[in-house]
């Protein structure tokens, strides 16, 4: 699996990236509405799922227009651009690069001409069988004929474009464009059953919006109703911002078709639900609903469970804002320890093109978070965060709190230890870099400088979601992958690292071993 090779600096320290979000997709069919602006606001609500690039494709029934660029949604679009995108159907995308470089060529939606017209497509997730699909594409291209002309003659830059644009989305659109005698719907039904891994797609031709979700339903995708149309989105929060009413989730293995004839549904694969549990931990907005469960409510309940599993005598519970806040509230409620604000977050520090010097990088956490000494001085603190990846951030945070006068720092994490990489749309650190691999909880605690450290159990997290454990993808925590991992990544599941004492450690997992051979 190719790793991103053109990242922006994340949270001022590229050496301590946390779990990076999947992409966000949005689409709507709404005659009489300003679809470009509605899509803009929908993408704004999904900005947390991808901050590297953003794009919108709009059709007036005759022509598809695409506008995309690098940067945040608010940086890519302005009033003049949005006003020029006229039509009654649109799709949009915010991107974080889990495959392919962070460059303009990989911004989405992608666009391709086909024998039946234009095709624009946006993708959230990661395919795990790209080698197989690339081979199929080569075979399809060799066989394809367009009005007696070879496809390479009609579109000579096809192979070059695919080579330069190294993401899954380009591969999907290239495959769909090879079915010359089929409509977009028919070509999609040829391609979708061959895709493996996590994918939520929104795509369109000149007259119709389509949305499809992988058979495991790993990433969320929902359907909403406007007074004069329909909306599909990665999260319900984006429905709220455009005034749409939530109807239902797009089912795993389902494709929906929206046009002047209304809404239709086609099943392209049997459902085998395995929704990503990390959406509840970190990825989704707290005001989103997944599987009829409020994400905020789940996080609060996880905090309560964390307090039951890892109680401690303390004076104050504080969150690492913003993702640690709901669980910190739950911890305080269950433990009866007062909740307080001990850290102030600068909301405007996120991704930046400016690479900090080493000196600035060492001080970087002060630009993101700053303590309130008058609140925490002399206090025994419970500090609640969502996850630990490498541990560098928590190490700096504990040191900062002690310097501000904290008497004790008890770290509580509202997810189990992250021990395995994700191949389905989240970009964690590599397995060798994950601090929970090869180290005990006590060793991690010493590494980050805490007085105590407690993670919520996997069973406790699952219970908080109220979803059956067998219907959740838990691979980043237990190494049991619901879809076979990519061939190129298999060696990464059997790595060697150096533990806290400098001793070489190697490991494997029954779940990961099963993933290597699972058909």
CA atoms within 13 A on the CB side of 371: 20
Q: 377: which 2 tokens? A: 């001085």
DSSP conformational letter for 488: G
Chain-centroid distance of CA 224 in Å reads: 21
Structure tokens at 469: 């454990």
Token pair, residue 105, equals 């060529």
Q: Is cis: bond before 187, omega within 30 of 0?
A: no
Phi then psi for residue 384, to 5 deg, are: -105, 125
Answer for the pair 208, 216: CB distance below 8 angstroms, yes or no.
Answer: no
Alpha helices, DSSP H, located in 68-129: 73-76, 79-84
On whether the CB atoms of residues 171 and 134 are closer than 8 A, the answer is: yes
The Cα 226–Cα 397 span in angstroms is 45
Span between the terminal Cα atoms of the chain, in Å:
18
Q: Measuring CA to CA, how many Å separate 71 from each of 50, 54, 126, 199, 397? A: 10, 7, 21, 23, 29
Annotated catalytic residue, options 23, 276, 473, 476: 23
Q: What angle do CA 431, 126, 476 make, to 5 degrees?
A: 35
Are residues 368 and 362 in contact, defined by beta-carbon separation less than 8 angstroms? Answer: no
Using left for φ > 0, alpha for ψ between -120 and 50, and beta otherwise, residue 336 falls in: left
Query: Both tokens of residue 299?
Result: 């996080």
Query: C-alpha angle 56/60/65, rounded to 5°?
Result: 35
Whole-Å CA distances, 447 to 42, 74, 426, 439, 441: 41, 39, 25, 10, 10
Q: What is the C-alpha separation between 214 and 129, in angstroms, rounded?
A: 13
The sign of the dihedral angle between the CA atoms of 36, 198, 353, 65 is negative
182 is catalytic: no
Lookup result for tokens 């474009």: 161
Distance CA(204)–CA(438), nearest Å, equals 47
Q: CA-CA distance, 260 to 244, in Å (whole number)? A: 18
Task: Please state, in angstroms and rounded to a whole number, the distance separating the CA atoms of residues 193 and 210.
Answer: 15
Catalytic positions are 23
């Amino acid at each position: 699996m190719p790793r991103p090779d053109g990242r922006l600096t994340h949270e001022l320290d590229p050496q301590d990236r946390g779990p990076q979000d999947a992409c966000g997709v949005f689409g709507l069919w709404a005659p009489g509405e300003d679809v470009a602006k509605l899509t803009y606001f929908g993408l704004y609500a999904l900005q947390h799922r991808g901050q590297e690039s953003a794009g919108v494709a709009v059709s007036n029934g005759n022509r598809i227009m695409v506008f995309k660029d690098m940067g945040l949604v608010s940086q890519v679009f302005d009033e003049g651009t949005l006003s020029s995108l006229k039509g009654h159907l649109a799709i949009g995308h915010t991107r974080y690069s889990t495959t392919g470089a962070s460059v303009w060529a990989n911004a989405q939606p992608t666009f391709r001409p086909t024998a039946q017209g234009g095709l624009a497509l946006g993708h959230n997730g990661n395919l795990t069988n790209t080698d197989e699909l690339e081979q199929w594409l080569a075979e399809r291209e060799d066989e394809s004929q367009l009005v007696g002309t070879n496809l390479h003659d009609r579109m000579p830059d096809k192979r070059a474009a695919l080579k330069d644009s190294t993401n899954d989305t380009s591969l999907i659109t290239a495959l769909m464009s090879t079915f010359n005698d089929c409509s977009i719907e028919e070509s999609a039904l040829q391609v979708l059953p061959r895709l493996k891994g996590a994918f939520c797609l929104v795509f369109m031709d000149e007259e119709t919006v389509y949305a499809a979700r992988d058979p495991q339903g790993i990433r969320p995708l929902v359907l909403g109703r406007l007074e004069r149309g329909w909306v599909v989105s990665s999260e319900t929060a984006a429905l709220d911002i455009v005034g749409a009413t939530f109807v239902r989730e797009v089912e795993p293995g389902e494709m929906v078709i929206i046009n002047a004839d209304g809404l239709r549904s086609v099943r392209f694969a049997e459902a085998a639900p395995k929704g990503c549990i990390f959406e509840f931990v970190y990825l989704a907005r707290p005001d989103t609903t997944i599987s009829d469960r409020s994400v905020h409510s789940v996080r609060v309940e996880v905090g309560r469970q964390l307090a039951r599993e890892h109680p401690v005598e303390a004076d104050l519970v504080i969150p690492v804002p913003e993702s640690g806040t709901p669980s910190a509230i739950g911890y305080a409620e269950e433990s009866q320890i007062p909740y307080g604000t001990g850290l102030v977050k600068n909301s405007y520090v996120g991704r930046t093109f400016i690479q900090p010097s080493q000196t600035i990088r060492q001080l970087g956490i002060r630009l993101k978070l700053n303590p309130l000494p008058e609140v925490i001085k002399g206090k025994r603190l419970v500090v609640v965060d969502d996850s630990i990846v490498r541990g560098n951030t928590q190490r700096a945070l504990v040191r900062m709190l002690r310097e501000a006068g904290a008497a004790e720092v008890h770290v509580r994490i509202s997810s189990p230890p992250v021990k395995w990489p994700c191949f389905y749309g989240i970009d964690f650190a590599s397995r060798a870099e994950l601090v929970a691999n090869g180290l005990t909880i006590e060793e991690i605690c010493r590494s980050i400088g805490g007085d105590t450290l407690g993670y919520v159990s996997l069973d406790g997290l699952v219970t908080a979601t109220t979803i059956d454990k067998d219907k959740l993808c838990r691979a980043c925590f237990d190494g049991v992958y619901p879809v076979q991992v990519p061939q190129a990544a298999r060696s990464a599941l059997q790595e060697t690292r150096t533990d806290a004492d400098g001793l070489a450690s190697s490991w494997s997992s029954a779940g990961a071993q099963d993933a290597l051979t699972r058909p």
